[in-house]
Structure formats: structure tokens, C-alpha cells
Amino acid sequence: MAISKWVLLFLVVSIAAGLSGVANRSSVSADVAGALFDALLIIFVVLLVLGFTVYRPG
């Protein structure tokens, strides 16, 4: 859950910087938020696949 908090933090920083007119900082924050979201999505898919293939209840 820590990565999702970082994604939301960088998203809020990006929006705040964009509204205040600091375009460079806004674009960097948006890029970091996007990269963290991609990492979160990859981790989710890997764990989902592992859950369906490795874990056998019983």
C-alpha cells in the first residue's frame, strides 16, 4: 500500500504545481506518479498470476 500512497502524493504535487504555474515541476511530478503507477500495476499483475497458478487451497 505504500506505493499507492506515493502515487497519490506525487499526483497531488503535480496538480498543485500545475495550478500554481510551475510547469517543469508539474511535469516531473506527473512522470514520477506515472512510473510509480506502472510499477504498482506490474506488481499487481504478477501477484495475481502467482495467486492463480501457485496457490492451491486445500
Total domains in the chain come to: 1
- Give the structural domain span for 35: 5-54
Cell of 49: 498470476
What is the enclosing helix (H) or strand (E) of 58? none
pTM of the model: 0.60
For residue range 8-44, what is the model confidence (pLDDT) as tens digits?
Answer: 887 788 778 777 777 677 778 778 888 888 888 898 8
Whether 50 has a pLDDT exceeding 70, the answer reads yes
Residues 6+ away with beta carbon under 8 Å from 30 = 10, 11, 14
